[in-house]
Chain A
Amino acid sequence: MATNLNIEVSPISRVEGHGDLVIDVKNKRIEKLQFRIPESPRFFEAMLVGRDYSEASHLMSRICGICSVSHTFASIRATEAALGVNINDMILKLRKLVNHGEFLESNSLHVYFLAAPDFLGVGSVLPLLDSNPEIVNIAVNIKKVANDIVRIIGGRAIHPITTVVGGFTKLPSIADLKTIRNMLVALYPDFEVSMKLLKTIKIPDFERETEYLSISSKNEYALYEGNLKSSDGWEIENRDYLTRITEKVVQHSTGKHCRTPRGEYMVGALSRVNNNYSMLSYNAKKYAEELGLKPPCFNTFYINIAQFIELVHCVDDSIRLIDELIAQGLDEKKARVKIKVKSGRGVGIVEAPRGALIHDYTYERNGKISKANLIIPTNMNYANVEKDLEAFIPQIIDKSEDEIRLNCEMLIRAYDPCISCSTHLLNVKLINR
């Protein structure tokens, strides 16, 4: 049992990028708790200044290899809002399909490769090759389909090529869409096998209510577009985000911390499921019920379950989109709408797998960017991660040091922090004093 505890986990592994956790407990009271982000800052807001509208999305996809599609679409939507570009329904559906590809890729990577080892009591996916080969195979299957969707439609699995302001540089064929549909349908048995395992894992009992933020739409489970919505009841348009979200530089982190008027808040799969549960597909809701995920859910560890539910939703919805696209046909002539540059400001908020992602650009008359602001989901979650840890550590303070360390890491990993994104490896250091 630990009365005094000084933990530093450095680096926290199986997260994208770099992070450290420092915990200092004296007489069972937390004296200091910091989730530090020492990852190299990359200054994307400065890189954008002076660049042409046609380059922005390619530059911005390079913020993160794992959510390059989300950055591409947040960027494109900001530019299209600023330049007044209206896309057609075919382009919209193809974009949503590419976006589902990324959710399948990212959520499966996190659920199966990064989080599953925790619940199965091993250090990484490597031992699972011997102990649970079926899980590794399922992960590989889903990831392959996901990457194929982005590759076939986007031209490349990481940093898509064809997705540009105004539409696509090249369209897939109907045969391509049918191939993707067959691959998607083949994933349902994998979900059934996964459900058997998910029903057996023990999810830590930890609840802390916070504010849940996501985009939201009356028409669908919002991932590509929608208003910014809070579980506290407010809903605003994309361009008004600054009226509710403020950013702050903190000394222990190169990733800025974000706040709403209420304070810290959560973004990501659990926020989306909490805010938009009714819009999930039939299969997704059925699995959510079987796994005991009911909105509003205040248990951070359920983020992993929410991510799995979204995998099912994205497969269902991708099949719907493909069926509609096949029915309406693909027209190469409508692949790209004409762009006329002008001055103006545009904001694009999309859901990245890790949560709401905001790109805000101001353009000059010649179509070059004069000012940019980016708010990254992992940054929005930092403050909430710290609050969660403050509430969680007293609950587990009587466990062994190793267990405390692992539980803290698991809590942070549940958020699937994409730290390269937040321009910033997790270290937990634990020294008894």
Chain B
Amino acid sequence: MSRPKIGVFGLAGCGGCQLEILNLEEHLIDFIKAVDIVHFTEAITEHSDTYEIALIEGSVSTEHDRERLEHIASVAKTVVAVGACACTGGLNCLKNIYGLERAKELVYGDRKDWIDAIETMPIDRIVKVDHYARGCPPTRSEIVDIVRSLIAGKIPEISSYPVCIECKRLGNTCIYEFGVTCLGPVARAGCNARCPSAGAGCEACRGPIDEPNVNAQKDLLQKYGLTVEDVMEGFNLYNACKKIEQKNS
């Protein structure tokens, strides 16, 4: 794929993942020259409906989102979910837990029927997703790596080990030692343990690893006097949709 046409799209999200592309700084100009950006609402007025790669940010939260997503996926050869909202539904799923109708009433009161809103879902619930750039937000290099792999005709590599491995590699003291609760043992790595390295607990914004060692996590929690329930509330922050899915299956 030489100089592929790329579309950058946003569904329900904060625009932060699109901004991470604009934040490529000194690499931005190289990036723009390596690809042909034909659609990028946040940054350019020009737009085209012909593109090979779609980078999609945000979760599906309205009927209009669903229709747009279906259209984008019908045009693009390769769909890349960018960021937690697209990959797992992200924190938009907290609304599902609260209850859609209740949430509409709370925010819009007796005018709630004017609002198009559905239960939030990750984009792979609606269309086939080829690659995932996880995280809230994903690292800039990760987004670029995926696009670079696609140009080179390779399959992008995604970490399938927990954040703990990255902390070990960095030589971080485990932050449980400082009384901080951390989801690192079961959370997917790839961020270079950003939060633990900054003194904060991992919030599993990249979702869980494929086969988490739940028993080891339980042992760890026991060691620090915590329970599974203590951490699950935290896990909900970015993974509430996943949890609801498991409950229903």
Task: Tell me if A158 is interfacial: C-beta within 8 Å of chain B.
Answer: yes
A155-B14 contact given A13-B47, A59-B237, CB 8 Å threshold:
no
Task: Tell me if A272 is interfacial: C-beta within 8 Å of chain B.
Answer: no
Residue positions of B touching A, CB distance < 8 A: 10-20, 22-23, 25-26, 28-29, 32, 37, 41-47, 58, 61-62, 64-65, 90-92, 94-95, 98, 102-104, 106-109, 111, 114-117, 136-137, 194-195, 197-200, 203, 233-234, 237
> Is the pair A46, B32 in contact by a Cβ cutoff of 8 Å?
no
Residues of A within 8 A of B17 (CB): 65
> Is the pair B104, A43 in contact by a Cβ cutoff of 8 Å?
yes
Residues of A within 8 A of B58 (CB): 40
Task: Tell me if A66 is interfacial: C-beta within 8 Å of chain B.
Answer: yes
CA distance A16 to B58 in the complex (A): 13
CA distance A46 to B137 in the complex (A): 22
A64-B23 contact given A124-B43, A254-B115, CB 8 Å threshold:
no
> A127-168: which have CB < 8 Å to B?
129, 136, 140, 143-144, 147, 155-159, 161-162, 164, 168
> A103-141: which have CB < 8 Å to B?
109, 113-114, 117, 123-126, 129, 136, 140
CA distance A158 to B16 in the complex (A): 7
> Is the pair B200, A17 in contact by a Cβ cutoff of 8 Å?
no
CA distance A114 to B22 in the complex (A): 11
Residue among B14, B104, B114, B137 with the most chain A CB within 10 A?
B14
Residues of A within 8 A of B43 (CB): 13-14, 113-114, 124-125
> Is the pair A140, B28 in contact by a Cβ cutoff of 8 Å?
yes
- Give chain B nearest CB distance to A67 CB in angstroms: 9
**26 A/B residue pairs, CB under 8 Å, sorted by A:** A13-B41, A13-B47, A40-B61, A41-B62, A41-B108, A43-B107, A46-B102, A47-B91, A47-B94, A47-B95, A58-B237, A59-B94, A63-B14, A65-B20, A124-B45, A140-B25, A140-B29, A156-B194, A158-B23, A162-B198, A162-B199, A168-B199, A169-B198, A169-B200, A251-B111, A420-B10
CA distance A13 to B233 in the complex (A): 38
| Selected contact of B46 from candidates A123, A161, A418, A425, CB within 8 Å | A123
Residues of A within 8 A of B64 (CB): 38, 40
> Is the pair A40, B46 in contact by a Cβ cutoff of 8 Å?
no
A129-B32 contact given A66-B16, A155-B194, CB 8 Å threshold:
yes
> Is the pair B103, A43 in contact by a Cβ cutoff of 8 Å?
yes
Task: Tell me if A344 is interfacial: C-beta within 8 Å of chain B.
Answer: no
> Is the pair B98, A43 in contact by a Cβ cutoff of 8 Å?
yes
Residue among B32, B91, B111 with the most chain A CB within 10 A?
B91
- Give chain A nearest CB distance to B213 CB in angstroms: 25
Task: Tell me if A45 is interfacial: C-beta within 8 Å of chain B.
Answer: yes
Residue positions of A touching B, CB distance < 8 A: 11, 13-18, 38-43, 45-47, 49-50, 52, 55, 58-59, 62-66, 68, 109, 113-114, 117, 123-126, 129, 136, 140, 143-144, 147, 155-159, 161-162, 164, 168-170, 249, 251, 254, 418, 420, 425
CA distance A58 to B200 in the complex (A): 11
- Give chain A nearest CB distance to B235 CB in angstroms: 12
CA distance A393 to B210 in the complex (A): 57
> Is the pair B44, A126 in contact by a Cβ cutoff of 8 Å?
yes
A425-B41 contact given A158-B137, A161-B200, CB 8 Å threshold:
yes
> Is the pair A251, B114 in contact by a Cβ cutoff of 8 Å?
yes
Residues of A within 8 A of B103 (CB): 43, 46
CA distance A163 to B160 in the complex (A): 29
> Is the pair B200, A109 in contact by a Cβ cutoff of 8 Å?
no
A46-B16 contact given A40-B64, A143-B25, A169-B200, CB 8 Å threshold:
no
Nearest-CB residue, chain A, relative to B16: A65
Residues of B within 8 A of A46 (CB): 94-95, 98, 102-103, 106-107
Nearest-CB residue, chain B, relative to A418: B15
> Is the pair A126, B199 in contact by a Cβ cutoff of 8 Å?
no
- Give chain B nearest CB distance to A160 CB in angstroms: 9
> Is the pair A66, B19 in contact by a Cβ cutoff of 8 Å?
yes
- Give chain B nearest CB distance to A25 CB in angstroms: 23
Residues of A within 8 A of B11 (CB): 40
